[in-house]
Structure 1
Amino acid sequence: MNFRPRQADEEPEINLIPLIDVLLVILIFLAATTSFTRYSQLQLALPQANAEAQESDTLGMAISQQGIYALDGQLLSGVTAQDLAQALSIAAQGRDDAILVINADAQATHESVVRAMEAARLAGIARVNFATQSSP
């Protein structure tokens, strides 16, 4: 160990050999752990959607937070599944493939939404959709 004071003309040296050794070890580690396998890709024929076409056979059922039902803008007096099924079957008359779109409030109970689905089953409506709202 040299404890003598440094002269003004001596400049500090940076030894690069240990740095190069560390970099080579990292490079070898990365090369050894990298996988070079190719993943096979699936060939899919995806269906095309036409977003502008509106289906005319849709029935809209709204469910409020308090469990009040409305079918196509008309309030329904009954709250049982049989009352709702009767209103749905009347509204679906003459429509071959009616679709029920349920617009439920975020605070509506699970029971009221399931009751609407049960009413659709009793009315013979096989297609039930749920309307959602995207968050801003």
Structure 2
Amino acid sequence: MHLPEDPESSPQINIVPMIDVIFVVLTFFILSSLFLTRSEGLPVTLPQAVTSENQLRQHLLTLTLTNAGDLQLGNETATLASLPDQIQAQRVGNRPILLIIRADADVPHGQVVTVMDRLRTVPNIELAIATEGISPAFQPSN
């Protein structure tokens, strides 16, 4: 007796679920990269400098000066009188602190100097001023 052969279907790979998984992973990485930006404090327009460089240190603090005259040390509001105490409260051991001053471009120079003068009373502190780098194509000519 001869039995008829069953028509076997050829194996197929369904890639639709794989594409769904790839899109989910891609969405995860896009959303997580949005949260990787560092919060530096209040939004200010930094002045530009050709010699601008990144400061990579373990123990650094950021002081933001807005054009309205507000001070913010890290994520806390601050006053000129309370700055030394707030900095000492965030000190870890005896390591030097690099304090980056993020002053808006419209802040008067005298106000920045007043803040820097007050900060120089804090022992074992280094000061830096935050700027935005200028593209080599846009460097001012002398």
2:118 equivalent to 1:119: yes
* Residue aligned with 2:105, SS: coil
Q: TM-score, normalised by structure 2?
A: 0.50
Higher relative contact order (CA 8 A, sep 6+): 2
Aligned-pair CA distance for 1:121? 1.1
Please list every run of 5 or more consecutive structure 1 residues that lacks an aligned counterpart in the other structure.
Answer: 1-50
> For residue 103 of structure 1, what is the aligned residue in structure 2?
102
Q: Which amino acid aligns with 1:61?
A: L
Greater fraction strand = 2
* Residue aligned with 2:100, SS: strand
Instruction: Judge conservation of contact 1:100–1:125 (CA < 8 Å) in 2.
Output: no
* Residue aligned with 1:65, SS: coil
CA radius of gyration, larger in: 1
Please list every run of 5 or more consecutive structure 2 residues that lacks an aligned counterpart in the other structure.
Answer: 1-52, 136-142
> For residue 60 of structure 1, what is the aligned residue in structure 2?
62
Q: Which amino acid aligns with 1:116?
A: V
Aligned-pair CA distance for 1:66? 1.2
Within the candidate set 74, 77, 84, 2:76 is matched to 74
Q: TM-score, normalised by structure 1?
A: 0.52
Aligned-residue sequence identity (percent) comes to: 20
Q: 1:83, 1:89 → 2: CA distance?
A: 10
Over aligned residues, Cα RMSD in angstroms?
2.4
